[in-house]
Structure 1
Amino acid sequence: MRNSMTRAGFTRRDTASTEFMDDPGCDPERLERTYQQFRTVNRLVSGWRRIYRQWIRPRLDTGRPTTMLDIGFGGGDISRALAGWAARDGLALRTTAIDPDERALRHVHRLPAAGVRFEQASSADLVARGDRYDLVISNHLLHHLDTGELAALLADSEALSRRLVVHNDLSRARVGYGLYAVATLPFARRSFIHQDGLLSIRRSYRRAELQAVVPQGWQVRPMFAQRLLLTHEGEQREGEHREGEQRKGEHR
């Protein structure tokens, strides 16, 4: 059964159910509408504007382009939004967005975005070919993964990132579940945004749960409203690197 409501309520994660859109044989029209609705849902609940201001914009430059990898781009709206905000701020951001699902790639190719290159690939594929990026991000990806897949994603993220990783996901809570259920009910018949969104909440971690399963060096931070940021910073931040180079110049 694709969607098995857990008898444990919200005490434990629902790891037995799978989302409708993850089924390769799901209704393609409903899937396409789901991709289209991601932009609205993420704008309202994902908090990326705040993440951009606090975590990403301070690491961007007007001259040297900063490279960013978006893992599991889905509808592509997060990559496009970040590229747009950086461009309006006069900052150079060059983004590669990957997703292993060819259906996601077909969707985003209908809406090309300046500064973003979309590719059908996994994080493991990019590690294998030796790619590196200044920043690595994901949105609503962690709750899809089992323990082994999560460990592999975090290892790949560390290998791919020079400076910062930010994985942004939901935090399981009854209040958020109820509000989302009411807000998205009108879309229940036309897309998967209602059913899969509710399941995503039931599959998501709470802060202590996620911190308990991530390696040393990863930090779990709560963010309003009912969200978690899983972050990892590189051994040498760009600002520290520049200060070090300046000090070297002073002693020459």
Structure 2
Amino acid sequence: MKRHLTPELMDDPDLPASEHRTALVGLARLNRVALAGRSPWMGMADLARASNGPLSVLDVATGSGDVPIECARRARREGLDLELHGCDLSEFALSQASSRAREAGLSMTCFQHDMLASAPSETYDVVTCNLFAHHLDEDGVCTLLRNMASVARRRVILCDLRRDRIGLGLAWLCSRLFTRSRVVHVDAIKSVRAAWTLEEMRALAARSNLDEASISPCFPRRMMLSWEPS
């Protein structure tokens, strides 16, 4: 199945706020159904359990923040604290992330930043990115990974879709079962067609000088990259 990258409706700056809001709600619902917070949390849980204080986590291209918020919920169930930070290009998405964090009884520092232009000035224990790499070309993914690695003190975690026909079928079915958002119906299919395979992601990690990165499949038809600075 050949990769096919096309602009997604969610990325249109002229998308009406009402449609954007409905799409973010739909995506959050899909992420809950897909247990999207499970793999990132499993990727950092050992660090949180061994930490003497809150583990600082930056989520890149955070959108409405539902994945890092779910990680913090899972940490809280174990009596652990995550210090949440999120960056995104969209001010609207960041406002939604801040609101969702407050509703969950959490604090999340959100700031506007283009991770493809430069790395943030601060460093963090863990830098995560969820469901963003499929929006990018090869050079974009490499820039993203390098900038994430440059501000990660302990670990980089990147989770995304895998490109295959089963994933395509799941995207079509679940997007229609769990949301009425036209944007999500269209973008769910575009996202899988634009996703990377495990082999492609391994090559991109190596090209980004993350040679020791671990890249493995995870539920449902997704992948997780984990890398630690030496």
Report TM bin, short chain: 0.7 to 0.9
Partners of 2:118 and 2:78 in 1: how far apart?
A: 29
1:219 aligns with 2:209: no
Aligned to 1:102: 91
Contact kept? 1:63, 1:92, Cα under 8 Å: no
**Distance apart, 1:29 and its partner CA:** 1.3
Aligned to 1:70: 59
Structure 1 residues 45 and 112: alpha-carbon distance in aligned structure 2, compared to 1, 3 A threshold? closer
Partners of 1:93 and 1:40 in 2: how far apart?
A: 22
% identical equivalent positions: 27
**Distance apart, 1:50 and its partner CA:** 4.2
Mean CA deviation greater in 86-95 or 57-66: 57-66
Aligned to 2:4: 14
**Distance apart, 1:109 and its partner CA:** 3.6
User: Cα RMSD over matched residues?
Assistant: 2.1
Contact kept? 1:83, 1:116, Cα under 8 Å: no
Contact kept? 2:135, 2:194, Cα under 8 Å: yes
Match of 2:170 among 164, 179, 182: 179
What is the TM-score with the length of structure 1 in the denominator?
Answer: 0.80
| Structure 1: gaps spanning 5 or more residues | 1-10, 236-252
Structure 1 residues 175 and 115: alpha-carbon distance in aligned structure 2, compared to 1, 3 A threshold? same
The structure showing larger relative contact order (alpha-carbon pairs under 8 Å, at least 6 residues apart) is 2
Between Structure 1 and Structure 2, how many residues are aligned? Answer: 222
Deviations 1:71-112 (A, max 9, x none): 011111112111222122111210111111112123234334
**Distance apart, 1:187 and its partner CA:** 6.8
Aligned to 2:26: 37
**Distance apart, 1:124 and its partner CA:** 6.0
Structure 1 residues 111 and 182: alpha-carbon distance in aligned structure 2, compared to 1, 3 A threshold? closer
Aligned to 1:163: 154
Aligned to 1:23: 12
Mean CA deviation greater in 141-150 or 219-228: 219-228
Q: Secondary structure at the match of 2:86?
A: strand
Contact kept? 2:26, 2:181, Cα under 8 Å: no
Which runs of structure 2 are paired with 1:123-142 in the superposition (5 Å)?
A: 123=115, 127=119, 129=121, 131-142=122-133
Contact kept? 2:155, 2:228, Cα under 8 Å: yes
What is the TM-score with the length of structure 2 in the denominator?
Answer: 0.88
Q: Which amino acid aligns with 1:48?
A: G
Contact kept? 2:64, 2:97, Cα under 8 Å: yes
1:115 aligns with 2:107: yes
Consecutive aligned runs of 4 or more in structure 1 exceeding 6 Å deviation = none
